[in-house]
Amino acid sequence: MPEDVSNQSRVRPTYVREERELLDRWLEFHRATLIAKCEGLTDRQRKDRPVASSELSLHGLVRHLAETERNWFQRILGRDLDRQPIWPGGALVPLDEANWEDDLEAWRAECGASRRAAESHSLDDYGLWRDKQVSLRSIYLHMIQEYARHNGHADFIRELEDGAVGL
């Protein structure tokens, strides 16, 4: 099982590894990157939506990616279609009553559940998404791109909040 780096410094994986380890480590890198974008900010800054036309906030992105972890690893790979959303009203908003520590713990729990689900399957095992087979390999690739895309959003949000870049 890959090391949980979601509460540690990011570790960029080397590029020469077995496929499974490479996928595991890149997903961990992107998980840790998301959290790095949120560190050192106030609760208000994490909840702030600095782009007027967008509902995106750092806090909301953490919640969204917790839901995404749950969806792809539990509902799709694990075929647990009865698994309910963590935030039925939506992950991105509203955030006024949201508690950062609770939501961060929910995200960490979902990442842990995803690791355990992935560990119990081969890369060729598949779940069902929209009545189509999707392999764990494909789920890994989807999750890596999902985090990478949202980490790009987080870069912009963080820069607008306090000018920090390259975290």
Tell me the average confidence (pLDDT) per consecutive run of 10 residues in the chain, 167 residues long. Answer: 50 85 96 96 96 95 98 97 93 93 98 98 96 97 98 96 86
Structural domain harbouring 112:
19-162
Spatial CA neighbour of 98 closest among 67, 63, 132, 71 = 63
Q: What is the pLDDT of residue 1?
A: 44
Residue 1 is assigned to a structural domain of this protein:
no
Contact 140, 23 (CB under 8 A): yes
Residue 80 is assigned to a structural domain of this protein:
yes
Q: What is the pLDDT of residue 9?
A: 61
Residue 7 is assigned to a structural domain of this protein:
no
- Domain holding 157: CATH number? 1.20.120.450
Residue 34 is assigned to a structural domain of this protein:
yes
Q: What is the pLDDT of residue 12?
A: 84
Residue 59 is assigned to a structural domain of this protein:
yes
Q: What is the pLDDT of residue 132?
A: 95
Contact 64, 154 (CB under 8 A): no
Residue 126, sorted as left (phi over 0), alpha (psi -120 to 50) or beta, turns out to be: beta
Number of domains observed in the structure of the chain: 1
Residue 25 is assigned to a structural domain of this protein:
yes
Residue 13 is assigned to a structural domain of this protein:
no
Residue 14 is assigned to a structural domain of this protein:
no
- How far is CA 37 from its chain centroid? 12
Q: What is the pLDDT of residue 89?
A: 86
What does pTM read for this prediction? Answer: 0.92
Q: What is the pLDDT of residue 78?
A: 96
E-strand spans in the chain? 126-129, 132-135
